């Protein structure tokens, strides 16, 4: 099972990325866990200095933008 991690402090862009990632995973039928990581120290441990960011199984895939559902489907597939 994939672990999709949304890195961000809870701002509107972070929430939008969370919702888009969840929708993309659901529409692809991917069995995954989508989690928010909001602690600054935990985010920095990923080497991320700009949020929101998306990581899959601990591997950072994008930083500082909120892609749409279709783009996220490509990243998740």
Residue 30's CATH number: 3.40.30.10
Residue pair 11/52 in contact (Cβ under 8 Å)? The answer is: yes
Cβ-based burial of 59 (10 A; exposed 0-12, middle 13-18, buried ≥19): exposed
Task: Indicate if the pLDDT at residue 47 is higher than 90.
Answer: yes
Number of domains in the chain: 1
Task: Indicate if the pLDDT at residue 67 is higher than 90.
Answer: yes
pLDDT, the chain, mean: 96
Confidence of residue 57 (pLDDT cuts 50, 70, 90): very high
pTM score, whole prediction: 0.93
Q: What whole-number distance in Å separates Cα of residue 27 and Cα of residue 23?
A: 6
pLDDT (tens digit, 9 = 90+) per residue, 7-38?
Answer: 999 899 999 999 999 999 999 999 999 999 99
Domain of 27? 2-76
Task: Give the residue numbers marked as catalytic.
Answer: 11, 14
Contacts of 37 (CB under 8 A, 6+ apart): 5, 6, 7, 8, 43, 46
């Amino acid at each position: 099972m994939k672990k999709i991690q949304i890195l961000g402090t809870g701002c509107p862009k972070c929430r939008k990325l969370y919702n888009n990632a969840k929708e993309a995973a659901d529409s692809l039928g991917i069995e995954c866990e989508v989690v928010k990581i909001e602690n600054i120290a935990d985010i920095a441990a990923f080497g991320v200095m700009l949020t929101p960011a998306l990581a899959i199984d601990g591997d950072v895939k994008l930083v500082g933008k909120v892609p749409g559902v279709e783009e996220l489907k490509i990243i998740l597939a």
